[in-house]
Amino acid sequence: MEERWPWEEESSLEAPDPLAHQRHEESVKEKLPRVIKLLDVQDTVMGQSSPHQTGDIVCYDILKRAPVYDLTSHFSDIKPHAPARGAHRHISAPTLFCLRGRGWEINDGKTYSFGTYDMLVVPPFTIHQHGGDEDAGAQIFVPQSRMLSILGLTKREQIKFGEKPEFPDGTEPLQDENGKLIGYRIKKGVLGIKDAIDVMLGGDPKTEAVFRARKEAQPWQGSVENTYDRYLKLFHDESVFCNTVTHVVAYDAEPWEWCRQGKFKWFTHPEMNSAARRLWLYMQEIPAASRSGMHRHMVEEQILIIEGRGYDLHDGERFEWERGDLVSIPAMTAHQHFNMDAKNPALLLSSMPSVGADLGLGGIEQLEDAPEFANENG
Ligand SMILES: [Fe+2]
Ligand SMILES: [Fe+2]
């Protein structure tokens, strides 16, 4: 039989209508819910984590549970007295938001501690391992962007196992001829995977060389003579930045600000000293029986309801939510949040893809001001 290129197997590319795929996606997106209940945490080889709430972090797993393309999130639960989890490293810099309890994080051998509502950011290429407080444990929410996966930078390596590794259903240990644990297998069928995946301990030499160079570059010494030199210098600047940047953005250290959209506390955005470049992350408190402003932006948004109950208006359509829900706001949607509780404030944690700002699409269009802000300034 005549051999075919992989793309020749893809019938949608042969379709006479070049926008057929986009239209199909739009119709899938329209049917997906704006408000979802969280998927429970499960036992994994590295501890207890939830599956990604709106589809896996890789970019081909979009539009599975919610109408967002770039954003997903998962939970890591560390019970009191749980054994220390394993250590791994990857290119992306995750934002770990502590929802409950307190914990610690070892980044390249240095320990950082965090408490409830603090955010920890692991700089790229860093070997990291986290755990909870012995008595309190910790629940960590990890909002994520798929942007790095689109760029072919999903690279992730398991460096060591946890203290007492357990192999839940669907996984099994891999040992060398001396019985030493060298990795584990995720069996075919788990989370829908079509073939078994072997996760081996340790880094491969190429990744090790690339990561090491990026971590160990010293401050740029020479002058910048031409445009190309700027990017040679950038390589050094990025290394210095990652080696000196803040790892913990503490709830107490960041101010609450009243703005036209309401009462905000920012955890990361492009102007903040943090290695979290994938996302903007902010907390919003909506007073009892009140509402946020209404705004619109080009990029999508994902909101975890930390406290309270209420509803959103998305282009005029109403979607109710309560504590623990995850709300998805598709790109280019006018939206506003309403607190239905007459006595207590609602607390929301929003994430947005930061890449919008790099694309010249980061501006926010204000359509209506929050009532408290309008009263004070009107
Ligand atoms: Fe990680
Ligand atoms: Fe928004």
pLDDT tens per residue across span 243-262 = 999 999 999 999 999 999 99
pLDDT per residue over 191-244, tens digit each? 777 889 888 888 889 999 999 999 999 999 999 999 999 999 999 999 999 999
CA 336 – ligand 2 centroid, Å? 8
What's the 127 CA to ligand 2 centre distance in angstroms? 33
304 belongs to a structural domain: yes
Give 154 Cα–ligand 2 centroid separation in angstroms. 27
What string of DSSP letters covers 293-337? -EEEESS-EEEEEEE-EEEEEETTEEEEEETT-EEEE-TT--EEE
Domains in the chain: how many in total? 1
> Is 38 domain-assigned?
no
Q: What is the pLDDT of residue 218?
A: 97
Q: How many CB atoms lie within 10 A of CB 274?
A: 23
* Ligand lying nearest the CA atom of residue 106: 1
Residue 302 within any structural domain of the chain: yes
pLDDT above 70: residue 163: yes
Which of the four pLDDT bands, split at 50, 70 and 90, describes residue 378?
low
Query: Does residue 134 carry a pLDDT above 70?
Result: yes
In a domain, 273, yes or no: yes
In terms of residue numbers, what domain contains 273?
Answer: 255-377
Query: For position 21, what pLDDT does the model report?
Result: 80
What pLDDT is recorded for position 334? Answer: 98
Q: What is the pTM of this model?
A: 0.91
**Token code pair at residue 210:** 């690339």
Q: Is the pLDDT of residue 275 over 70?
A: yes
**Could you tell me if residue 71 is inside a domain?**
no
- Looking only at the bridges linking them, the beta strands covering 301-307 and 317-322 are unpaired
Residue 293 Cα to ligand 2 midpoint, Å, equals 10
Over the chain, what is the mean pLDDT? 91
Nearest-ligand number for the alpha carbon of 158: 1
Residue 292 domain-assigned (yes or no): yes
Confidence of residue 297 (pLDDT cuts 50, 70, 90): very high
Helix (H, G, I), strand (E, B) or coil at 163: coil
**Nearest bound ligand to CA 303?**
2
Residue 14: pLDDT over 70: no
Residue found under tokens 């589809």 = 55
Q: 274 or 19, which is more confident?
A: 274
Which residues, other chains included, contact 3 with Cβ-Cβ below 8 Å and sequence gap of 6+?
A: none
Q: Does pLDDT of 68 surpass 80?
A: yes
The answer to whether 328 and 304 have CB atoms below 8 angstroms apart is no
Query: What's the 270 CA to ligand 1 centre distance in angstroms?
Result: 21
Mutual angle of helices 227-244 and 205-216, in 10-degree steps: 90
Q: Give yes or no for residue 13 having a pLDDT over 60.
A: no
Give the pLDDT confidence score for residue 343 in this predicted structure: 97
Tokens of 158: 């398991």
267 within a domain of the structure (yes/no): yes
Ligand in closest contact with the CA of 348: 2
- Choose the most confident range, by mean pLDDT, from 4-13, 38-47, 177-186, 359-368: 359-368
Has residue 124 been placed in a domain? Answer: no
Q: Which residues of 164-182 are buried (b: 16+ CB within 10 A; e: fewer)?
A: ebeeeebbeeeeeeeeeee
Question: What residues have their beta carbon closer than 5 A to ion ligand 2?
Answer: 301
Instruction: Look at residue 328 in the predicted model and tell me its pLDDT.
Output: 98
Ligand (nearest to CA of 107): 1
Cα separations (Å) of 218 from 128, 159, 211, 236?
A: 22, 25, 14, 6
Q: What is the CATH number of the domain that holds 312?
A: 2.60.120.10
pLDDT of residue 320: 98
Strand 119-121 with 35-36, pairing: unpaired
d(CA 373, CA 235): 43
Ligand closest to Cα of 126 equals: 1
CA dist., res. 89 & res. 314, Å (int): 38
Closest CA to 39 of 76, 69, 93, 10: 76
Helix (H) or strand (E) holding 24: helix 20-31
Q: Where are the beta strands (DSSP E) in 134-219?
A: 138-145, 156-160, 171-175, 181-186, 197-200
Per-residue model confidence (pLDDT) at position 9:
65
CA of 352 to the centre of ligand 2 (A): 8
Supply the pLDDT for residue 189: 83
Contact 351, 309 (CB under 8 A): no
Examine the pLDDT at 181 and tell me if it is beyond 80.
yes
